[in-house]
Amino acid sequence: MKICIIGGGNIGSALIEGLLRANALAPEQITVSDPSAQVLGRWSQQGLQTSASNAEAVRGAHIVFLCVKPHLATTVLQDIRTNIFSAQLLVSFVAGLTLQDIETITGVRPIIRVIPNTAMAVNASVMGVSSRHTSEQEQASVTELLSKVGMVIPIDESLMNAFTVLGSCGTAFALRYVRACMTAGCEIGFKPDMARDITAQVLLGTAKLLLETKSHPETEIDKVTTPKGITIVGLNEMEDQGLSAAIVSGIKAAYRKMS
Ligand SMILES: NC(=O)c1ccc[n+]([C@@H]2O[C@H](COP(=O)([O-])OP(=O)(O)OC[C@H]3O[C@@H](n4cnc5c(N)ncnc54)[C@H](OP(=O)(O)O)[C@@H]3O)[C@@H](O)[C@H]2O)c1
């Protein structure tokens, strides 16, 4: 299998790093296309094929991943549409670009739309996936590849904007929580790096608890809040300061902006 990645920025690089870390593909099975000589040089040094021409890069690829910024997506799709054959799967990571938008530019063809996050680089992304004109085999091959860089969740395309906010912007929301804990952690005695590691491991452990037990967060909170204890004092103070309301309000504001 050969894949082509158009746009070697944050998301294109995260995908490549995750696939290489998982040994899902050998470097020579991946071609990266990007206008930046620095980006191409970085991947070429690691044994990937590189190209400054998108039209050239898609030749021979079984799957073409579109990883450019939304405002460039139409131009790039117009550039490659005559070079990309119907047997080649087109997978778009572009936020806000619908399956219909892609079909309008490239014609009827198998298309998969994915919203990932940057944790693909460490094989721990979550990805919402919708598709059009794809066979079960095509869906299965893309799901198998993407599952090497995280959890794949098939969703109706109508939920893509909501998924973008929760699953993709969610990385930044979680990081802001970590940064706040680092600031507070420093005040109560830790160096920032140690506070970061403690908080990150707490989040990792909490995430595993929820994913493995499928428990409700309040059930787990009940297990760690002793009556008259310290945890409940901290939680109640955070809620007095508007923690849950701020999160709900932020997610809804981001969704309004997306829609
Ligand atoms: N970042 C996220 O967390 C995230 C999450 C979900 C979805 N997405 C989607 O992923 C896509 C990429 O986002 P990103 O954060 O990776 O952006 P990015 O870091 O700017 O990466 C885009 C890359 O594409 C290159 N590029 C520009 N014009 C090109 C062209 N004509 N042909 C090929 N490559 C070209 C850019 O080069 P220059 O910098 O030199 O212009 C850059 O290296 C976006 O559509 C975004 O909606 C991102």
Tokens of 49: 């094929």
Q: Give the closest residue (by CA) to ligand 1 atom 19.
A: 9
Domain limits for position 201: 163-258
Tell me if 115 CB under 6 Å of ligand 1.
Answer: yes
Query: At which of 155, 173, 194 does a domain end?
Result: 155
Residue 259 confidence (pLDDT) above 90? no
Give residue 258 CA to ligand 1 midpoint distance, Å.
18
Tell me if 88 CB under 6 Å of ligand 1.
Answer: no
Query: At which of 105, 127, 155 does a domain end?
Result: 155
Q: How many domains does the chain have?
A: 2
Tens of pLDDT, residue by residue over 182-200, are 999 999 999 999 999 999 9
On whether both 142 and 28 belong to a single domain, the answer is yes
On whether both 15 and 141 belong to a single domain, the answer is yes
**Gap between the Cα atoms of 151 and 154, Å rounded:** 10
Give the number of the atom of ligand 1 that is nearest the alpha carbon of residue 8.
43
Tens of pLDDT, residue by residue over 101-111, are 999 999 999 99
pLDDT of amino acid 87: 83
Q: Which residues of 242-259 are buried (b: 16+ CB within 10 A; e: fewer)?
A: eeeeeeeeebeebeeeee
Tell me if 68 CB under 6 Å of ligand 1.
Answer: yes
Tell me if 76 CB under 6 Å of ligand 1.
Answer: yes
CATH number of the domain that 210 lies in?
Answer: 1.10.3730.10
On whether both 133 and 218 belong to a single domain, the answer is no
